[in-house]
Structure 1
């Protein structure tokens, strides 16, 4: 059977022209489209080993600086921001190379890496150079997550007592890591499943994460994507919506659901939000991207620790892990 026709330049990405500001709707279809639609960003170069894709990219965005070798592009062009959407195995090394070439901000697609060693290399290089690193376009990039964290810090639910996160824990799609105020120091896991037929080794059991500041995160079947429980209320993110509950005194004592202060979560535009975080960091308006490479690396180490614990009958596993070659495999990446 003859192969299916290759896409045309206009089909390679959907147009991405947000009609509303971040946090209020719309879609961003790719990192390139997010760059292209940002008035203060000029999309100047691209690299792809496939000559037809490379040509289509150039035609789609009107770019002449096209390269078959990403390292050559980094050497030849003076780039401020780089988006790395290669296969997973190349992302760590290309991030390190981009930082060495003087790039000031890096976005990588998810999954960010396979191994702890890869995460160490890219997160370490970015931290040493002061380069913000976004570890993939996920839900946590949405501005509503920043609003949730601000509410916690303002005392909207009182003193935080615990966090919950769903099963599977998904290091590369984590929401809970954004809300940690201390470092994970040990984990216990149980019920992990053998390697799936399609190749995934992501943790599929339940467990607990203990942090340096006393915070405990429960990885529990049936939990929302993230729940933050406090002494005077709780908030949760479930079914793509934030909900807030607070203790009330009148007319009847108890806990009542309160209106969620804008913005509420809306699907889409994740790449737009990632780029917004990156630029905010580069301009000094934000300390760290919401879905930073550091937070993804933390979640990866936790997930690998949970797997080790489950394999050892649920014993406590101390963090950081000594074996940095430990890695996950995924069945959903390209």
Structure 2
């Protein structure tokens, strides 16, 4: 029985849309989290179009995923008119991302396409001005805007958030996270996870930031950094995105009554629940480790994003990582840089200067087109898995 109720399309057919899953075959990651792979794992969704300005990428993408030439487009506008998708992924580099998303909204406004949800890569836009314009335009037309900060839709993180909402940890006190990488492209994952696990409305009201160097902070490029964060619900946080060694991708969500501790938070899914309890009757309370209540149904965060989009379309629910949250996460990254520029002082959010941006120089030609024979980066465990013959490459037949 064909139960496909929704049509999807992808704009920008590079790594995050297509091949990123190959880098971690055989590791502990829950696959898929490429946009195309995630769509293909959800039975209700059919991919009806894919667009890219480079014919090499269209050809490779079509062959890999079994899309006929009639579903491959050079012009995304033509695809939106002909294929009439319900949801669209915008997976280009960040430069044209805002324009493409705004074009989609305008075409919906003019009745040229029927897009209900835009799933945009991170960072959502380069500047806060663009983010403001995009969020406003989507709200006016009624198009759902969601950012690919995937932990917001990861089943383990959703389970942890549900426990926080149920009061298992009590009042939230502190969120401490260690990651590694540039703030707007990698830090957004960990900053987003911190917002989810802070509870309440998930918003930061002020912060103090430190960038990786004065030179990097003086420019407009993405950069690594650390920050002390004050959440609106009174919780506090510390996020380290400078190199963190063996502590990379660890997080502790600390409440008055308990702590959720995440180790190896990218691929190991080592979640622990700690509460205060008596080892023997009458003894002083001491930290006690419990089995973390694993979600009963498990799928990848990418699949979770697609499932969340469907729920939002059908019920009007706000996405787990909405466009408004995407703007907030960009604003946090910019505020960290601004704090460093001003001498590591407190910076209140929202930022007054909406022209602030994180811009990244991009080559017009994707690396996969320029260097088609260059080996793709691979995770260490994926390299071992391939050598030992464990796992298999996508696509799944």
1:67 to 70, 73, 82: 73
Note the 1:106-117 alignment, pairs <5 A.
106-117=118-129
Report the counterpart of residue 313 of structure 1 in structure 2: 343
1:287 aligns with 2:291: no
1:209, distance to aligned residue in structure 2 (A): 2.0
Root-mean-square deviation (CA), in Å? 3.3
1:144, distance to aligned residue in structure 2 (A): 0.7
Q: Structure 2: how far apart are the matches of 1:305 and 1:132?
A: 26
Q: Structure 2: how far apart are the matches of 1:81 and 1:237?
A: 32
Q: Structure 1: how far apart are the matches of 2:45 and 2:211?
A: 47
1:76 to 79, 82, 91: 82
Report the counterpart of residue 287 of structure 2 in structure 1: 255
- CA gap of 1:15–1:202, structure 2 versus 1, over 3 A, is closer
1:227 to 249, 252, 256: 252
- CA gap of 1:309–1:15, structure 2 versus 1, over 3 A, is closer
Bigger shift: residues 182-191 or 24-33? 24-33
Q: Structure 2: how far apart are the matches of 1:28 and 1:162?
A: 31
Q: Structure 2: how far apart are the matches of 1:325 and 1:14?
A: 32
1:74, distance to aligned residue in structure 2 (A): 2.1
Note the 1:1-334 alignment, pairs <5 A.
13=19, 27-28=31-32, 30-59=34-63, 60-63=65-68, 64-100=70-106, 101=108, 102-136=114-148, 138-166=150-178, 170-171=183-184, 172-173=188-189, 174=191, 175-180=193-198, 181-182=200-201, 183-190=203-210, 192-195=212-215, 201-220=221-240, 225-240=250-265, 241-251=270-280, 252=283, 253-263=285-295, 269-284=300-315, 287-329=317-359
Q: How many residues align?
A: 313
Tell me if structure 2 keeps the 8 A contact 1:167–1:205.
no
- CA gap of 1:138–1:316, structure 2 versus 1, over 3 A, is same
3-state SS in 1 of match to 2:259: strand
Bigger shift: residues 211-220 or 101-110? 211-220
Report the counterpart of residue 7 of structure 1 in structure 2: none
1:179, distance to aligned residue in structure 2 (A): 3.1
Tell me if structure 2 keeps the 8 A contact 1:99–1:129.
yes
- CA gap of 1:129–1:146, structure 2 versus 1, over 3 A, is farther
TM-score, normalised to structure 1's length? Answer: 0.80
- CA gap of 1:128–1:30, structure 2 versus 1, over 3 A, is same
- CA gap of 1:278–1:148, structure 2 versus 1, over 3 A, is same
3-state SS in 2 of match to 1:71: helix
Q: Structure 2: how far apart are the matches of 1:211 and 1:14?
A: 33
1:48, distance to aligned residue in structure 2 (A): 1.4
TM-score, normalised to structure 2's length? Answer: 0.69
Deviation by residue 1:126-157 (Cα, 9 ceiling, x = unmatched) = 33334332312634431111100000011111
3-state SS in 1 of match to 2:157: helix
1:230, distance to aligned residue in structure 2 (A): 0.9
Higher helix share: 2
Q: Structure 2: how far apart are the matches of 1:26 and 1:318?
A: 37
Deviation by residue 1:197-225 (Cα, 9 ceiling, x = unmatched) = xx984453433222333232223576764
Tell me if structure 1 keeps the 8 A contact 2:170–2:255.
yes
Q: Structure 2: how far apart are the matches of 1:14 and 1:322?
A: 37
Deviation by residue 1:40-90 (Cα, 9 ceiling, x = unmatched) = 212112211122332444444333233211122223332201111112112
Tell me if structure 1 keeps the 8 A contact 2:169–2:256.
yes
